[in-house]
Chains A and B, each alone.
Chain A
Amino acid sequence: MTQGALVISAWELSIAALFVFAVGAISLWARLGLEKGLLVGSVRCVLQLLAMGYVLRFIFGLASAWIVFLIFFIMVGFAARIVKGNVSQQKISFVLPTFLTMLMVYALITAVVTGGIVGATPFWHPQYFIPLAGMVVGNSMTALGLALDRLFSDLRARRDEVEMMLCLGATAAEASAGIFKGALKAGMMPSINALAGVGLVFIPGMMTGQILSGEDPVLAIRYQILVMFMLVASTALTVVIVLGIVRNRCFGSGDQLVV
């Protein structure tokens, strides 16, 4: 028997905040230095989520395709900026190809999922498009950061090895094939681990949310499977395309390493 989500009052939410206060108190007592980060993080979390809740309610009410696409554009822009911040590389410009690839791949996959699989009408229906796109952007952003950072650091650390292969007649792609695979694996590993561990090691947040809001667990599971496949596909596609473009930019016209 299922029932709708139980309403959580502000008072009950403040009880949940006691857990964070307890951690802060332990940090103060043990002089761990976590209290400032915890306080700022908790306040930001509440404000950002509150703002998001009201913004989403407003957008759902508007039901405008332009607004949905604008939000999607901004989400991808921020994601590309975060990826840039996570990668320690100044010489090679990778932000624009990363942004454009993210924009195209995420739009395509989210549209196929909402319009083709979920059957939302129209496909950009904000209730479906925005949350699903958000999950895609968030997951792939982490994967991209990991993959690009690995690509750059390995090209720098294994420069002699790459140049040795170039000197034997390898093309840039041949000389960096091992590093490319390593970077791809580093980016994909969290998604692949999540595929293997879902349902056994952890219950995903989206599925938990649906169940808590009174949805049939079997339907929640179907959504979760869809989301998992969508996340793996978008992550793999984005990481492969971006790594390919950026790898090419790491070599000059003479196939010389310029990182």
Chain B
Amino acid sequence: MNRSCPKIDKEKKSVSSQDPCFELENVCFAWPGKHPVLDRQSVRIPKGGFILVRGRSGAGKSTLLRLMNRLEEVDAGEIRYQGQAITAMAPARLRQQVAFLQQTPVVPDLSVRQILLSAFAFRINQDKTPPGDEALLAMLDWLDLGRLGLGDSGTALSGGQRQRLCLLRALIIGPEVLLLDEPTSSLDRDSKKKVEQVAVQACRDGKTIVMITHDDFVPDGVCVYEMTIDRGKVTLCQ
């Protein structure tokens, strides 16, 4: 860690930062007929940090990210983003600022250009100017996808290429938070490394990254926190 990072308050099991990105307060959530994924859990996620979410399979890591993005609703308690209850925000506005990358990349049968610019078709992003071809090609190159043409079909891409393309598609609208659901789980070593590098770079650029991982990956040059979910409890440590 090479910069000053907010410390964890061990009593509160939470970060001591005055300016948290996300706050979960007494959050409860259970899938119908199952044990609780979150049982009255409170945690504060520091702004600008790189949070690695760990836990056994089925512990509720993906569910936590889906709750933060409102793809699921809490049963009780409250989730706040930058001090505001996420239920008080327009869902599209929240998701514009808090991007969520699904574990399995979803790439429709469109050209690479159309895939990258798909978010600009939605009303919430219509005041933004989509990048031109030159900028898109530079971005592809940055993610080692320089061999792709903007007119190539997205369905012809490999799993690693699709995941990187989806990451780029999420980054292109400039979110402040990236929720990454095991983005490297099915990737080869090179693709995995590139995705991790891009996530770290995004964090260095000021974005908060919350990433589920089962690997030993430790980001360098950013404030790293580890969040563990087990039997309905969430712990955050440095």
Contacts and interface: CB of A to CB of B under 8 A. Distances in A.
Given A160-B104, A174-B123, A166 B96 contact: no
Contacts of A164: 102, 106, 166
Contact of B91 (A160, A165, A168, A254): A254
Nearest to B126: A169
A256 interface: yes
B112 to A, nearest CB: 16
Contact of A167 (B86, B93, B95, B104): B95
B100 interface: yes
A253 interface: yes
Given A253-B87, A254-B70, A255-B91, A169 B124 contact: yes
Interface in A201-259: 252-257
A174 B71 contact: no
A136 B40 CA distance: 54
Contacts of B173: 168-169
Nearest to A251: B91
B149 to A, nearest CB: 22
B139 to A, nearest CB: 16
Contacts of A163: 71, 102, 106
Contacts of A253: 73, 87
Given A166-B71, A169-B96, A169-B124, A161 B118 contact: no
A209 B70 CA distance: 58
B184 interface: no
B64 interface: no
Nearest to A163: B71
How many A residues are at the interface, by size bracket?
Answer: 10 to 19
A171 interface: yes
A167 B87 contact: no
A83 to B, nearest CB: 26
A170 interface: yes
B122 A168 contact: yes
Contacts of B71: 163, 166-167, 254, 256-257
Of the listed residues A163, A170, A252, the one surrounded by the most CB atoms of chain B closer than 10 A to its CB is A170
Nearest to B121: A174
B92 A254 contact: no
Contact of B102 (A167, A169, A171, A256): A167
Count class of interface residues, chain B = 20 to 34
Q: Among the interface residues A254, A255, A256, which one has the most CB atoms of the partner chain B within 10 A?
A: A254
Which of the listed residues A163, A167, A256 has the most CB atoms from chain B within 10 Å of its own CB?
A: A167
Interface string B67-103: 0011111000000000000110001110110011110
A202 B64 CA distance: 58
Given A167-B170, A168-B169, A253-B87, A160 B102 contact: yes
A179 to B, nearest CB: 13
Interface in B149-194: 166, 169-170, 173
Contacts of A252: 73
Given A167-B102, A170-B122, A161 B92 contact: no
Contacts of B86: 254
A168 B72 contact: no
A160 B181 CA distance: 13
A111 to B, nearest CB: 38
A255 B69 contact: no
Interface in B94-151: 95-96, 99-102, 104, 106, 108, 118-119, 121-125
A168 B119 contact: yes
A161 B118 CA distance: 12
A252 B70 CA distance: 10
Contacts of B170: 167-168
Interface in B194-211: none
B73 A256 contact: yes
Interface in A137-171: 160-161, 163-171
Contacts of B99: 167-168
B73 A171 contact: no
A220 to B, nearest CB: 48
18 contacts: A160-B104, A160-B106, A163-B71, A166-B95, A167-B69, A168-B118, A168-B169, A168-B170, A171-B91, A171-B122, A171-B123, A171-B124, A174-B121, A174-B123, A254-B86, A255-B70, A256-B70, A256-B71
Sorted nearest first, the 10 A-B pairs with minimum C-beta distance are A254-B70, A168-B119, A255-B91, A164-B106, A169-B96, A169-B124, A167-B100, A170-B122, A169-B92, A254-B91
Interface of A: 160-161, 163-171, 174, 252-257
